[in-house]
């Protein structure tokens, strides 16, 4: 579960990826054509993170997963995850989403508005 208001990472929509013999291969797609001159490949921690990014994930979730899976210290997991994400962001293979926190008043107001709109439409 992510903390509201924090950055959430996910795969870019403009890539195709496959795992072959434990290595992740990523091909950016531009204009419906794969850029074969820009194939990215990684394994180990990179493959674990890439699999997790199939769904939006917070940085803390990724760090915890690397720490658990590889039995490394929180500091090492954080350094490796941040480095991987920085590389993937620079290459345009990962994107950042911002989860916005809603206050209880905003949630109640939104829910009430939906209730009134439903009642008005009858």
Percent of the chain with pLDDT over 70: 70
Q: For residue 18, what is the enclosing H or E element?
A: strand 15-20
Per-residue pLDDT for 5 more than 60? no
Could you state, in order of their start, the residue ranges of all structural domains in the chain? 7-120
Distances (CA, A) of 75 to 46, 71, 84: 17, 12, 14
pLDDT digits (tens, 9 = 90+) for 99-112: 655 545 555 555 55
Predicted local distance difference test score (pLDDT) of residue 22: 85
Predicted local distance difference test score (pLDDT) of residue 121: 47
CATH number of 7-120: 3.90.930
Provide the whole-model pTM.
Answer: 0.71
Residues 6+ positions from 49 with CB-CB distance below 8 Å: 62, 65, 66, 81, 84, 85
What is the maximum span of the chain, computed from C-alpha positions, in angstroms?
59
pLDDT digits (tens, 9 = 90+) for 16-46: 899 888 899 998 887 655 555 678 999 999 9
């Amino acid at each position: 579960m992510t903390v509201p208001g924090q950055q959430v990472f996910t795969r870019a929509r403009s890539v195709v990826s496959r795992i072959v013999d434990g290595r992740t291969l990523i091909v950016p797609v531009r204009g419906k054509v794969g850029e074969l001159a820009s194939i990215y490949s990684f394994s180990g921690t990179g493959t674990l993170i890439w699999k997790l990014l199939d769904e939006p994930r917070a940085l803390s979730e990724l760090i915890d997963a690397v720490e658990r899976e590889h039995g490394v210290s929180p500091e090492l997991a954080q350094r490796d995850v941040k480095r991987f994400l920085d590389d993937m962001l620079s290459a345009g293979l990962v994107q950042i989403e911002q989860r916005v926190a809603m206050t209880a008043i905003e949630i109640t107001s939104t829910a009430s508005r939906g209730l009134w709109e439903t009642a008005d439409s009858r």
